[in-house]
Amino acid sequence: MSVLKLGIPKGSLQEATVDLLARAGWKVTLSSRSYVPSIDDPEMECLLVRAQEMARYVESGALDAGITGHDWVVETRAEVVELAELIYAKQRLARVKWVLAVPQDSPIHEPRDLEGKVIATEVVGITKEYLAARGVNARVEFSWGATEVKVPQLADAIVEVTETGSSLRANRLRILDTVLESATVFIMNRKAFEDAAKREKAENLVLMLQGAISAATRVGLMLNVRREHLAEMLSVLPALKNPTISALSDSDWVAVNTIIEEAVVRQILPKLKAAKAQGIVEYPLNKIVL
């Protein structure tokens, strides 16, 4: 039996990833006594690995696959296959940006003002490449953390990751430029990717992860409507997927069952009611594969 060695990102993404795997159908059990989580699938083995080091170890073959940020694939220049993005829209696993930022009252206003300055960042490689592409010479120092409080005392600028920019604003920083956009990615080792069994396993895993991600922001909607009002009612529904329309015992009525974005329910539901839908019921979903 082929076994897929999967790296799970240790640290800030860990809990969200274990939770996502659970919703996808795999139970990962972390033990305080060991750093090797157990997983309830004989075809898989897990290892907790820092997101920063994931691509390096997937590249070397120590792992067949891993979940990490695209940014760290770029920073470590690892040669791996990015199988899929995993955009989990609620707060975690989401898209992030690495931005170049300076204090609000800094005299630095564009990248070239950084000439001869000190920049603190966790992504030294990405930052150097960014500067090189713009012909700027600056000293890039590796930062062990809390980078956003290093300016202006310890550095002139920083390159730091942010989701919404709120932490940067709270530290009174001004964003000059976006250095790199990144998202959580599912990566594979090149050799493992060419192994049919491992590739199928990985693709099924990604299918289930995306099914769970997809369900997390969507809900099911059931309602009844008279046939004569069906068309009007359907015109209100967003076109995510054709709704399932089924016959009822009372042939004047049909039942409609569909999937919509949770975020638009508050707009759609009053309109459905206005369009004479009855018995409108919203219910939660676990997974969606359209």
Cα end-to-end span (Å), the chain: 30
CB of 115 to its own copies, least distance (A): 19
Q: Which of 154, 175, 183, 236 binds its own copies (CB under 8 A)?
A: 154
**Interface size with its own copies, residues (CB under 8 A):** 72
What is the footprint of its own copies within residues 158-197 (CB under 8 A)?
170
127, 179 in Cβ contact below 8 A? yes
Helix/strand/coil for 194: helix
262 is a site residue for its own copies (CB under 8 A)? yes
Looking at the Cβ atoms of 235 and 266, the one nearer to its own copies is: 266
CB of 29 to its own copies, least distance (A): 10
215 is a site residue for its own copies (CB under 8 A)? yes
Ramachandran region, residue 11 (left: φ > 0; alpha: ψ -120 to 50; beta: rest): left
Q: Which of 234, 187, 204 is CA-nearest to residue 82? A: 187
Cβ contacts of residue 124 below 8 Å, gap of 6+?
Answer: 75, 140, 141, 142
149 is a site residue for its own copies (CB under 8 A)? yes
Looking at the Cβ atoms of 66 and 111, the one nearer to its own copies is: 66
Q: Which of 30, 136, 220, 276 binds its own copies (CB under 8 A)?
A: 220
What residue type is 202 in one-letter code? A
124 is a site residue for its own copies (CB under 8 A)? no
Interface pattern 17-36 for its own copies (x via CB under 8 A)? -------xxx-----xxxxx
180, 98 in Cβ contact below 8 A? yes
